[in-house]
Every structure is written in structure tokens, then in C-alpha cells.
A and B are shown apart, each in its own frame.
Chain A
Amino acid sequence: MEGTTIKKSTSRKVFLVFDYVLMIAIALICIYPFWYVLCYSFSDTALASINSPTFLPRGFTLANYKEILTLDGFFHSLLISVLRTVIGTAASVFCCSFLGYLFTKGKMPGRKLLYRFVIVTMYINGGMIATYIVMKAYGLLNTFWVYILPGMISAYNMVLIKTYIEQLPPSLEESASLDGAGYTTCFFKIILPLSKPIIATVIVFVAVGQWNSWFDNHIYTRANESLTTLQYLLYNYLNEAQRIAEQLKSASSSTDVTQAVAAISPKGVRMTITVLASLPIFVVYPFMQKYFAKGIMVGAVKG
């Protein structure tokens, strides 16, 4: 691609130097805080609070990680988190992309109306209590499906995919449908392979959202401990520390202060949680990047 067709002019070189410097600078600004978080999570809590780690951990320790890894039900909740991420992402990506594809079809009766019907959901919500009542009426409370079903169709992701598909040359599909292929076949055989970049993007969006969400666990499935997700387990752990700290302030409390405070190290824990929360992106994202490393070759698909 760095073909000989274009000569690298001086201005191009200047631009490239500028571009590299700027991009790397931005990346560094983005890394530093994360590095700080990482160092803090490996730091001795007592030392870290005296002098925050700037470039290296203060008194290297795995205590924070040990604390979290030995939480009751850690591995079970990890399993639930992985399950909801995998199933939730697969379901949502399929629904959004297929629906997005259908919406590119001008032949669909009432297409515009239905498309807008879906988009409006971005701007309305009935509030937590009403949604809760509805989930209860559907019998979804304290079931695994409450993690999957409500988020299955995200208007935003659907729009992204639809917009992308619309940009593909229509001729491709038309030739296929002339061959007698149905919509489903077209979708799986032609559209999906061509849409890898956007599908990869949506996978990243949905997977990260699924992995990080704890609120649905908090409101819909708190009564069922076997459905506790990792994020909620960590959230509770952190909350407990904060709750004790808060309680010390209630004037009527007769708590033995020294004992209660000894149990608290919210900051180190929070840092550790952040590291754990961002792990999946390290796993998933570089893998997904290969789908948008190079542009697609429409010709290649055409065969």
C-alpha cells in the first residue's frame, strides 16, 4: 500500500512527524492515569496513602488482589459475568444487526415508522420503579434473563449498523437476491462478512457494557445470590467500606471506631477494581482490531 504511486512530499513528512508526536502524546496522557491506578493497586495501602505512587508502586504487594480474589463467591460471580457478557453480547449483536439490516430495506411496509419507533426508545424511560414493576410482571425478577432481554435491542447500536450497511454497494446484494437468496441468506452470506468492522465495534461496545454493569443486578436480582455478577460483588464490597465510614458519622452511633475503620481501605480496592474492570478490553479489543486494521475489499467478496 505504501506504493510508489504517490511520492512522499516534504509536507507529507512534516505532517507525519506531527501526527506521530500528537498521537503518541495523546496515548501517553491516556495511559498515565491508568498506570497510576495500576501502581496504586499494587501498593501497600498504608504507604500509598502517605505518599501516592507517581511512577512505581509504593511497597509492592498483592494484598489488594488477594483481598478481592478471596471474596466469597468470587469465581462463581466471575462465571456469571462471563456468561452474561458472552450470551448478552451474542444476542444483542445479532438482534441489532439483523434489525438494522431489515431497516435498510425500502420494501418494508411502514419502515420509517418502525425505525423511528425504535429510535425514540433512546429518549424515553419510565423510571426505575415502573421498569421494576414491568420486570416483575414478566416474571424476570431474579432470573438470568433479566441481564439479557431488556438490553437486547439497543437503538444506538442498531442505527450504527444500519448506517454502515447502507453504505455498502447495493449491487452486491441485488445480484445475490437475483440468484434467489432470501433475506436471511443475504444477511449471513453477504452483509455480515462485509460488516465485520462495525460488528466488531458493536461487540466491543456491548461486551464492555455487559461486563461493567451492576445496576440491573442491584435492582432485579439482588435476592438471588447465585446470579451475583463480579461487578456487583465488587460494588458491594466497596459499598460496605463506605457504609461503615458513613455510619461513624451518625451522631447516635456507639460504634467502636478504631475497629471499624481498620476494615476500610476503599481507595486501594477501588483501584484494583478498576484494573479488573478494564481487563476485558485488553482481551477483546486488540483481537477485534484486526477487523478494522485493513479496509474491506468489496471486490474480494464479489469473487
Chain B
Amino acid sequence: MKRKKLAVLICAVALAATSITGCGVGSGGDSKAAKDIPKSADDVDLSKHVDISIGGLSLGDSGKDAWPTEVIKAVEDKFNCSITTKAYDTESLNLDLTGGNTTDIVQISDENIAGVLKGGHAVNLIDYKNIAPNIFAEPMEFRNNIMQKFKSEGEEGAQYFVTPRVSFENQKENYGARLQYGYVVRWDLYKAIGCPEINNDDDYINACLKMKEIYPKTENGDETYAMSAYNDSGLHSYFFKGCLAEGFINLEGGLYVQDVTTNDLVADVYDEGYDGTTPFWSGVEFYNKLYKAGLLDPDNFITKSEDLTEKYTKGQYLGGTTNWFYSNYNTNNAGTDKEYIVLPSKLGWCNEPNRAGYSGKYFFVSSHSKNVDRAVMVLDYLQSGEFSRMSDSGVEGRWEKGDDGMPHLTKDTIAMKTDSSRSDEWKESGIGDTNTGNFTGWSPDNVLDDGGCVSLWQEESVMKDSLTAAEKGLCEQFGINLPSDLLKQRIESGKSIDQRDSDGTIRMCLETTPKDVVRIDSNCTEIVTKALPSLVQAKTDKEFTDAKEALMQQLKDANVETSVKWWQEAWKTSKAAVEKLETE
């Protein structure tokens, strides 16, 4: 009796399983019959109001305080639709793909491409060429070629994705008003020690020592340190510091880096056979020097971003590498000399030509969408110069044509940004909204037909208005217009470089990393993370070399060489393919 029941049960489970797996998954996807595709934008019936949702791994939820913004409203009016945005995370994206109920427009990253294409979740944009003039505009050709050749799983004549922030040939050089990454110092302290020139890590450590001498404790009696690593971003604190000092751009995870000038791929941690210092080792040596000089936070291995923000707010750090953590402090001390500023390092993190747009952010129109035509038109418009200008500089009226025939921001717009009593109005204007910025097609530095850049905030006079008291002090001290001029000068004199010669396209066109290499890399990252304390806290050079040797051996045992080989091969292939594309 019991046996029988069990058997029946198992049968039922099996039955249910097969029936459910059969349906419900990965439906849709067959490309639309040709007759359904509108021949021109006029063919599309816009009379019906529809909802268009845009979801993405890098996007946020709309419906927060000021949505739709002026900018979004302009798009809604143009296409008679309501636009909402949605934040996806890996889990919810996977589920929505599984259920075939994603948003109308979706933004994914490299890892999801195979699933989206294999599952038939994206529409082929080339079928909709007639209603997508901006996507297929002439300056986008290079980007489109890349998408067609490398991001369509080898399918001929198909393009499923578009990228945001594509930069064109006419892109204007732009250093920004201030630097984001480099050598951070507290301006009052740096001035007090006589603004010594900082050319390398050693100069910087000396400066930190001097600053610590005159400011050993905060006003509240807390010990001060030069800085601490942030431990919630993997190895980032180390290799990123090294990238700035040595002139590299990191690939995600930081086990591999790209030389900014030669565009070669370099194995970052496993530096066997590389002469010169790779970013990771440069960064680790830097932290080790800080440690030996007594400048490193003793909680270097346990602090996370949130703790770092807190310690910066307390004024416990004298320096740093990035501008991510001290804005609370600067706000609290606005108008005084006590703010943090960034001085240039060897590599200036700017002027990278994203000829194929940002990598890791791919937008597609869902084949499950109820309004594919409308979604394509909206996505297309987001890719236009007109929309990009709106996204960065506001709708027309927020900027206007000046006497010189060029577009300029109005005085009111500039005043609004810094006036905290008008913050609601500022949010409603949608200018520079991060969410919108994530799906804006053009790079802020591209030049539009009217002669102005996409972002009008980068005019020198506008940037000058945005300087803080400390930054003004800095400019006065060095006789420059903007803090970023320090970097500009160093680049002109050959002491520094920026990213203009680097080619991000190679990174974008790499083939998907096979599973076993992903596993090796993830293991290696673990191994390296565990080795950090013995490296950073090495008291002598001998200790350091021993720790390094031990680490290299461990990596070797974890098959790091298989990974290095795969990456070098893949890089070579990708580089050759990109070069071929360019000569064609």
C-alpha cells in the first residue's frame, strides 16, 4: 500500500516537472513577420497612449520624488507614452527573462548577453532601421559594427544592442573642473606644509608624514592616518591605486589590466615575465610603505566604504585615492580651507574615447514587449544628440543660444544648481539626473550641430563658478584657472598621461569568459585577498619578497597560468579584430 502510494507520488512529480519545463520558459523570440514592421516613423500609430518601461542593472527605480522630470516629460509627449524605469539586479533580471516579462527596454551586462540572445528575448534592431534613424546615424557606425560583429553571437545582419555615451571623432578634450582620482590631500594641511610637489608615491608619502606631524589627532582627539583600503570592493583599493600610479586601466576584478599607451593586456597579480611594476604590485607596495611609515589605518583590512565615509567625516584621514568618501566632510566644512582636494597622479582618469559607448551596458528592446514599435522609437530617441543635450543640460529654455550663436546655460540654470533652497526645482528639471544619464546615447563631450557640447556644464566659466573655497585657494596658489589644470599642465610637460590613446573597444569585444576560467579567476582573487595582510604588513623587504613568492606559488597551484593563457589569447584575437574593423 505504502509502496504504491510512493510510486504514484513519484510519477506525479515527474509529470508535473515535465509539463512545467515544457512551457513557460523562453517563449517569444521568433523574429517578427516582415509585414508587421513599420516602413517609416509615420507608419507608427502614436494615437494610443502606452506605457514604456526601461529596466536595467545600472538603473534605478523611477517614482521617486521628481518623476517624470522635465526631460522625461519631453520624451513622453513626443511619443505619447508614460515612461518608468526599474532597477534590476541579477536575480530579478534572471527571473524576468525566465518568465518572459521583462521591461520593454532592458539594459544588461556582458554576462547576460548569451542568455538574452539564446532565449530570443531581444528584437533585431536592424529590422526596425526605418524607425530608428538615431541608432543608425552615421557617427554611430563604429559602435554599430562592434555590436553586430561581437554582440550578436555570430548572427549575420543582426544588431540587438545599443550602448550609451558613445563618443565621436569630434569629441572635445575635457579634463573636468576637478580631478576625481589621484593624490587626495586636505587642502589646509597641504598648504601648511608648503605645498610640496608630488611626482610619485614617495613624494606623497612624505607629504602625508609632514601633514601627520602637524595634525596627529583630530579636534575630537581621534588618531589621524593617511588612508585605509575599502574592503567591500575586492582588490580595487590596491590595483586602482596602482593603475593611477603606473598608467593602466583595469578590467573588472583587476586580475588583468590594460596598458593605457600600448593597449597591451598585462596579468596584474601574476606578473611572471613582465618587466616593470604592474598596478597591483605598485598599489601593494604603496600600502606597505604607508604601513611601515605608520600612516596606514590599523583597521585597513576591515573597513568598508561606510566606515571610510564616517572616518573621513570625522577628519581622520589625511589623504586617499578617490573622491568617493569625503563629500560629507566637504559639505560639513564648506567655505573653509579644510576641504579635501585631489592632486594629479601619473594617469589622469579622463579623455577616454568610448567610440563604442560604455562597455558592460547594453540596451535592447524586449521581444515580449506589447509595444515593440514604440519601444524602439523611444530607445532610438534616447540615442539622439537632441535627447543627450536635454539629459545633460536640460530642456531648451534651460539653455539658449547666446550672442555668439552658441548654446549656453542660462544664468538661472547655473544658479539653480548650487542654490539648495531650489533643490526640488533642480530635481524636477532632470538635469544631470544619474538615472537618465545611464541611458543617454551621446558622450557629454560630443559636439552637436549647433556647435555646443552635449553637456554645457563644461564651459570654463561655468566650471569656475562651481569651485569650492579650498579649490579656489588651490587655483590661487598655483596660478591656474581650474584644479584640473594641474593635470593638464603635467600632461603637456609629459609628466602625466591621460586615457586618450587607450582603446576600450578591445575590452568590449573580448569573447565571453569560459566557466572554468571564471572559476580559476574567482579562486585567484580569493587567494590574493587572503595574502594581502602578509604583503601590506611586511616589516622588511625580505618579508615582502617571501610573501610575494608564496603568493605566486599558490596562484600557480590554482592554475593561474591557464587563465593567463586564455586571457592573452582572447585579448590578441579581440585586438586584431578591432584593428581589422578599423582598416576596413
Instruction: Please report A residues at the B interface, Cβ cutoff 8 Å.
Output: 46, 49-51, 72, 109-110, 113, 117, 128-129, 132-134, 136-137, 141, 218-219, 222-223, 225, 236, 239-240, 243-245, 247-252, 254-262, 266-267
B24, A136: Cβ atoms closer than 8 Å = yes
Query: Does B99 contact A136, Cβ atoms closer than 8 Å?
Result: yes
Residues of A within 8 A of B20 (CB): 133-134, 137
Q: Which residue of A lies closest to B457 (CB)?
A: A256
A245 to B230: give the CA distance in the assembly, Å: 13
- For A258, the chain B residues whose CB sits under 8 A away are 327, 330-331
When the two chains form the complex, which single residue of A51, A244, A248, A267 contacts B60, counting CB atoms closer than 8 Å? A244
Contact at A260–B434, with CB atoms within 8 Å? Answer: yes
User: Which residue of the partner chain, among A110, A219, A247, A267, contacts B434 with CB atoms under 8 Å?
Assistant: A247
Known contacts A49-B328, A255-B437, A258-B327: does B98 contact A129 (CB below 8 Å)?
yes
Q: Closest CB-CB distance, B169 to chain A, in whole Å?
A: 19
> Which residues of chain B come closer than 8 Å to A256, judged between CB atoms?
432
Q: Mostly helix, strand, loop or mixed at chain B's interface? A: mixed
Other contacts beyond A137-B20, A223-B101: 10, CB < 8 A: A49-B314, A133-B25, A236-B61, A240-B60, A240-B87, A243-B60, A248-B324, A251-B249, A254-B437, A259-B432
B496 on the A face (CB < 8 A): no
Residue B48 at the chain A interface, CB threshold 8 Å = no
CB–CB B327/A257 < 8 A: yes
Please give, as numbers and ranges, the residues of chain A lying within 8 Å of B63 by CB-CB distance.
72, 225
Contact A222 B64 (CB under 8 A): no
The distance in angstroms between the C-alpha atoms of A184 and B90, with both chains bound, is 47
B488 interface residue (CB < 8 Å to A): no
Please state if A50 and B314 are interface contacts (CB–CB under 8 Å). Answer: yes
Contacts A110-B5, A133-B24, A137-B24; A245 near B305 (Cβ below 8 A): yes
Q: With a 10 A CB-CB cut-off, give which of A141, A239, A243, A262 has the most chain B CB atoms.
A: A243
Q: Can you name 20 A-B residue pairings with CB atoms under 8 Å?
A: A46-B313, A109-B1, A110-B5, A133-B98, A133-B99, A136-B99, A137-B20, A219-B91, A219-B95, A222-B86, A236-B61, A240-B60, A244-B60, A247-B58, A249-B233, A249-B236, A250-B58, A251-B249, A252-B352, A257-B324
Closest to A48 in B: B310
- By beta carbon, the residue of chain A nearest B86 is A222
- Taken residue by residue from 58 to 77, chain B's Cβ proximity to chain A (1 for < 8 Å, 0 otherwise) reads as 10110111000000000000
Q: B250, A251: Cβ atoms under 8 Å?
A: yes
Q: Are A137 and B23 in contact (CB under 8 A)?
A: yes
B58 contacts across to A, CB distance below 8 A: 247, 250
A251 touching B349 by the CB < 8 A rule? Answer: yes
Q: Do B94 and A129 touch across chains, with their CB atoms under 8 A apart?
A: yes
Closest B residue to A112 by beta carbon equals: B2
Is residue B309 contacting chain A, with contact meaning CB distance below 8 A?
A: yes
- Cβ–Cβ < 8 Å partners of B358 in chain A: 252
Instruction: List chain B residues, Cβ under 8 A from A244.
Output: 60, 434
Residues of B with Cβ closer than 8 Å to A? 1-2, 5-6, 9, 20-21, 23-25, 58, 60-61, 63-65, 86-87, 91-92, 94-95, 98-99, 101, 165, 180, 220, 233, 236, 249-250, 305-306, 309-310, 313-314, 322-324, 327-328, 330-332, 349, 352, 354, 358-359, 432, 434, 437, 444
Provide the bound-state CA to CA distance between A239 and B313, in Å. 22
Question: How far apart sit A258 and B326, CA to CA, in the bound complex (Å)?
Answer: 9
* Bound complex: CA A46 to CA B250 (Å): 34
Residues in A whose Cβ lies below 8 Å from that of B9: 117
A287 to B467, CA, bound (A): 59
- Chain B residues, CB < 8 A from A134: 20
Whether A132 lies near B95 (C-beta < 8 A) is yes
Contact of B95 among A129, A261, A267 (CB under 8 A): A129
Which residues does chain A contribute within 8 Å of B180, judged by CB atoms?
257
Cα distance A248–B323 when bound, in Å? 9
Closest residue of chain B to A73 (Cβ to Cβ) is: B63
Bound form: Cα–Cα A260–B236 in Å: 21
A255 touches B310 (CB 8 A): no
In the bound assembly, the distance between CA atoms of A249 and B304 in angstroms comes to 13
Q: Which of A49, A141, A244 has the most CB of B within 10 A?
A: A49
Max chain A C-beta neighbours (<10 A), residue from B5, B165, B327: B327
Evaluate contact between A50 and B95: CB separation under 8 angstroms.
Answer: no
**Smallest Cβ distance from B302 to chain A, in angstroms?**
17
- A186–B208 Cα distance when bound, in Å, is 79
Chain B residues near A128 (CB-CB < 8 A): 91, 95
Contacts of B330 in A (CB 8 A): 258
Do B220 and A50 have beta carbons less than 8 Å apart? Answer: yes
- Which B residues are in CB contact (< 8 Å) with A219? 91-92, 95
Chain A residue nearest to B327 (CB atoms) is A261
Task: Tell me whether A49 and B92 are in contact (CB under 8 A).
Answer: no
Q: B309 contacts which chain A residues (CB < 8 A)?
A: 49
* Residues of A close to B2: CB separation below 8 A: 110, 113
Residue of B nearest to A219 (CB): B95
Tell me, in angstroms, the Cα distance from A247 to B91 when the chains sit together.
18
Identify which of A247, A250, A252 gathers the most chain B CB atoms within 10 Å of its CB: A252
Q: In this complex, what residue of B is CB-closest to A258?
A: B327
**Which single residue of chain B is at the shortest CB-CB distance from A132?**
B95
| Given contact pairs A46-B328, A257-B324, A240 touches B61 in the complex (Cβ within 8 A) | yes
Alpha-carbon distance A129/B69, docked complex (angstroms): 35
- The interface residues of chain A lying within 8 Å CB-to-CB of B323 are 257
Contacts of A239 in B (CB 8 A): 87
Distance to closest chain A CB from B347 (angstroms): 11
Flag if A266 contacts B313 (CB, 8 Å): no
For B323, the closest partner residue in chain A by CB is A257
Bound CA–CA A217/B312 (angstroms): 37
Give Cα A133–Cα B20 distance, bound, in whole angstroms: 8
